[in-house]
Amino acid sequence: EAGVAQSPRYKIIEKRQSVAFWCNPISGHATLYWYQQILGQGPKLLIQFQNNGVVDDSQLPKDRFSAERLKGVDSTLKIQPAKLEDSAVYLCASSFQPGTYEQYFGPGTRLTVT
């Protein structure tokens, strides 16, 4: 079974620029999550989708972050404009259904904002 795919793996941008990350979850997984992992910390949930609907985006900085999952499969996370403190690894995870606690994580995208 193929795992969660993410791209790009690395991205370096200057502050105030825009960036987008892409995630393809495991086939058949209805629930998709985006996490932010700052160096030295555990992952923090940014947004959770159930199919193409948002379940929880309470920790998403909506003034600069946006995410979509239009067809209920792939998802993109965008930051516009980026700040220095957005430097982190952005992890995508998926699970078969909500309430299924086991989440499968992708390799992440390491973002550096200079």
Partner 1 sequence: GESVGLHLPTLSVQEGDNSIINCAYSNSASDYFIWYKQESGKGPQFIIDIRSNMDKRQGQRVTVLLNKTVKHLSLQIAATQPGDSAVYFCAENSHGNKLVFGAGTILRVKS
Q: How far apart are CB 99 and partner 1 at their closest, in Å?
A: 4
The pattern of x and - marking residues 29 through 68 that bind partner 1 according to CB under 8 A reads: ----------xxxxxxx--x-------x------------
Query: Which residues from 73-102 bind partner 1, rule CB under 8 A?
Result: 91, 93, 98-99, 101-102
Answer yes or no whether residue 108 interacts with partner 1 by CB under 8 A. Answer: yes
Strand segments (E) across 1-114:
5-7, 10-13, 19-24, 31-37, 44-50, 53-56, 65-68, 75-79, 88-95, 104-105, 109-113
Please report where in the chains the tokens 């193409």 appear, as a residue: 52
Q: Which residues sit at the interface with partner 1, rule CB under 8 A?
A: 4, 39-45, 48, 56, 91, 93, 98-99, 101-108
